[in-house]
Structure 1
Amino acid sequence: MSWTKGKRRPLAALAVCVLLPLGAVACTGSEAHGGAVSSSPVGKVLDETDTTGRNLREVPRKNAPEVAVEVTEDPAGGWDVRLAFRHFGISEPGARPVAVTGRGFVRLFVDGRRVARLHGPTHHLGAGAVPHGTHQITARLYADDGTVWAVRGKPVESSADITVSDAETDTAGTGTAADPDTAGTGTAADPDPTGTGTAEAPGGTASPAGGA
């Protein structure tokens, strides 16, 4: 970190200029934070939003983030959610609210209802979070500024269906990596400032942070 006259330099690229003979000036620059945050925009923020008003952040399909979700019955009660990623890394809780290519957090939904913000690849849904009947569990990827990663105007997400019988559970569902061309729109919300994997609706408990 560099300081000049008690003032902090800008967090963008820092420039050093040297006066050369004949009045020429040569400048070199370096990005702050080890180049992790680019000075150029990441993707394109669209006017389109999800049902809770979060803007989509469009990126090219090649090397776009992907997620797969698997939901299995927990013998002790409830459901275990496991996520797998491609071209996506989970940010640490408290990360700067800046969009960085291929990074962010996950929102978990039950039938379009937000239940948790995740900073790790696993989560436990309590039995009370999923009532009797068939339900859709959806994991959606977000940038750290709260925008939704999207390809061709659709959020990057994956879903799995589960059926809860009178005996609490009947079958478990498994989702596959979402093709951004076919991923459906859903809901999103403002980033949760309270930390990692905090359940946002009764019935679920979050797993410790993890994943890269």
Structure 2
Amino acid sequence: MTDENRPGESLRERKKRETRQRISNIATGMFRERGFDQVTVAEVARVAGVSAMTVFNYFPRKEDLFLDRIPEAVAAFAGAVRDRAPGEPPLAALRRLAFRFIDARHPLGGLGEGFAGFWSVVADSPALLARAREGVEEVEWALAAAFAEAGLAAPELVAAVTVAAYRSVCVASVRRQLAGYPFAEIVEDHRERMGAAFDALERMVP
């Protein structure tokens, strides 16, 4: 997330968002330098100049300091379906969102130069891996609710398959980044596989 002003956002809301992002940025730097399990919440709070209670007010769990975009992912994927243009199929709206993330090198798109260091921290921590899996489930549940509102048959099944397809493309690209493949090659492959994934989903879903 950025620190730019957002439409309709009050000064209090903006300051809370900026504080949350600052704490997360500090924690992320510490985790990447020393490893997730070697840094305590108390240390993050001290460096950020806040109390540990303040940290937990923004992040209920230590893992959320690093995986701080889970709420954003839930809102983005469900929102793409709910806020789609009149007559636009839900999967078409999600395809647009996926490629917007890719083009922007947004973290939720699974691509970005320098992301390998982030994912190596996750891979080295069982706690972060478990929280990442929970985050995927949260997106799936929110997407199922949005699909149900859109009138899709078997919304839970469609959500599960959609999230699995999206995740498989992103995980493969992350592994290629960790393996040191040229970034331009990864991007081209990622775009092709994401398009193929949505092609398959749209053939499956009436």
- Which band: TM-score by shorter chain? under 0.3
Q: Which structure is larger by alpha-carbon Rg, 1 or 2? A: 1
Greater percentage in helix: 2
TM-score (norm 2): 0.23
TM-score (norm 1): 0.22
More relative contact order, 1 or 2 (CA 8 Å, 6+ apart): 1
